[in-house]
Structure 1
Amino acid sequence: MGLWLIGSDTLARSRFTVSPLAETVGRLLILVGRPTPAGERGWLDTHRRAYRDRIAADPFAALFVRVAFRRSWLPGFLTVPPRPGDRGVDDELDRVRATPVDAYLDDLAVTLQGPVPEGLRVPDGAARVADLLSWVWRHGVAPDWSWRVRAFEADVVARTQQLSAGGWATALDAMRPGMRWLGDGRLQINTYDYPPHDISGGELVFIPATAHRGWVASDPPQRRYAVVYPCSGLLARPRTGLAPESLARLLGPVRAGILTALDTPKSTTQLVGLTGHGLGSVGGHLRVLLDARLVGRRRSGRSVLYYRTAAGDDLVRVQSQPGV
């Protein structure tokens, strides 16, 4: 599956979406020991001990994470793309839980490239994996899910702007390591030597997640395909302490943080993801900064981008100098 053949209609109908399950799998990969994305070391330090206690109390889960994640190819039943009618993580976890035992064992055998260990050959194996994922969701994802969604939405805005400015080649080449748009309906999704797979006529979605490299996924009966890609590191976590202290005293911490974040033009959604504040709050502070002529705005495709004016640049520069 190193090359996908994509018809023009499939590419035109492709869209971005968010998947709680994809983010949960990404979190589990970090806990298992895969490379930690930039800015996520604190999350790992917070949750590592509880995860180790959870695994120590569950021999099946301990064996599963030890063997199922030692290769780069993930078991297919863990990575099924979300469906349009999904209402949240429970719908995605229910699909994992309902994986037939034959499909569960086949997916593991493909991942392991060999026989499945006896300890994993149990009739409720998929359900036990779903229980582990549910634990990761409750303890490590759900508490800050709302701002992660804002970060993903901001990333989608940035990707859409790349698409508008440079076309599919620019947007897809920068999405995840090993992926390149080759033209003529050919998308290299990884560097593995697999026969081309024709997904023309299917549904293609792109899913941001806090993962080191991301992965590709499919739901063959539904003709649905997904590319899970790393959310931009800059947007993966709200940036506290962004503004100089003197500027925060002058303008207020939220307003100063927004002004400082506009070192490059950004949309309101991107600023929401960066600062962790709600859309209404960010919009209100932007209006004040616009009235003060510290920021300006311009349209880029369907998005409105905000930028610092010369006066705004001067204010941030002066307040950032040592001794101020």
Structure 2
Amino acid sequence: MARDPGGDVVARAERLSRGGWAAVLEGMGPGTRWLGEGRLQINSPPYPPGEIPGADLLFVPVTPRRGWVTWDEPHRYAVVDPCDGVLAGTERRPASGPLGALLGAARAEVLLLLGSPRSTTHLVALTGQGLGSVGRHPKVLHEAGLIRRRRAGRSVLYRRTEAGESLVRAGGGA
């Protein structure tokens, strides 16, 4: 399975906007959590706490399944962790059954894949469909209110709306 650091950044930015640092750090790695009041735990005890006032703290998504911490004292620290975004592989689900019958198998597959933000390039890689086909599906799904779109640099990212989530759950795709 190929990992997608770009998708990771988008997913974590969305978590930050919804739930703050605690949501971003949740599941990042063993012992990593937001303690509140400007404090962050990045590893399990027995290491003593340290302070890094005024230093840069970077979060670096990587494709290996293991994370680590690195630093250039006293000015720069980094939490290097496995990325969350998935570009290809195990996430592909066939869109058969009621959802496939309602939307068509190809369009339903695109809706299923939009549980996390994706560009048309990601969708082409995941589905194996041509760019022309994949490009039409988000347009129709957006007009139906099942997905939303937003610009991220040069890309447009699509993600299911609550109505899209409900449809996927009702169709047995969740």
**TM class, shorter-length:** 0.5 to 0.7
Contact map agreement 1:239 1:274 (CA 8 A) in 2: no
CA contact (8 A) 2:61 2:81 kept: yes
Residue aligning to 1:163: 16
What secondary structure is seen at the aligned counterpart in 1 of 2:24? helix
With the length of structure 2 as denominator, give the TM-score of the two structures: 0.66
Determine if contact 1:179/1:189 at 8 Å carries over to the other structure.
yes
Residue of structure 2 in register with 1:288 after alignment = 140
The equivalent residue for 2:94 is: 243
Matched residue, 1:313: 167
Distance (whole Å) between structure 1 residues aligned to residue 9 and residue 124 of structure 2: 13
Q: Classify 1:289/1:274 alpha carbon distance in 2 versus 1 (closer, same or farther; 3 Å).
A: same
Aligned partner of 1:227 in structure 2 is 79
Q: Which residue of 2 aligns with 1:152?
A: 5
Residue aligned with 1:260, SS: helix
Structure 2: stretches of 5+ with no match in the other structure: 151-156
Cα distance in 2 between the residues matched to 1:308 and 1:183? 30
Q: Which amino acid aligns with 1:257?
A: E
In structure 2, C-alpha distance between the alignment counterparts of 1:267 and 1:209, rounded to whole Å: 18
Is this contact kept in 2: 1:238–1:274, CA < 8 A? Answer: no
Conservation of the 8 A alpha-carbon contact between 1:294 and 1:308: no
**How far 1:236 moved relative to its partner?**
6.0
Structure with greater Cα Rg: 1
Higher relative strand content: 2
Corresponding position of 1:267: 117
Per the alignment, in what secondary structure is the counterpart of residue 267 of structure 1? coil
**1 or 2 for the larger relative contact order (CA 8 Å, sep ≥6)?**
1
- 1:212·1:230 contact (CA, 8 Å) conserved in 2? yes
**Inter-CA distance 198–277: structure 2 relative to 1 (3 Å threshold):** farther
RMSD: 4.0
**2:108 equivalent in structure 1:** 256
Residues 237 and 273 in structure 1, CA contact (< 8 A), matched pair in contact too: no
SS in 2 for 1:192: coil
SS of 1:229's equivalent in the other structure is strand
Name the CA distance, whole Å, in 1 between partners of 2:121 and 2:94: 14
Distance in 1 of aligned mates of 2:126 and 2:53:
38
Q: Residue 260 and residue 226 in structure 1: after superposition, are their counterparts in 2 closer, same or farther (change >3 A)?
A: same
Correspondence 1:179 to 2:32: yes
How many residues are aligned here? 159
Instruction: Name the residue aligned to 2:47.
Output: 194
1:188 and 1:295 map into 2 onto residues whose CA distance is 38
Instruction: Pick closer, same or farther for the CA change 1:244–1:277 going to 2, 3 Å.
Output: closer
Deviation (angstroms), 1:178: 0.8
Query: Percent identity of the aligned residues?
Result: 40
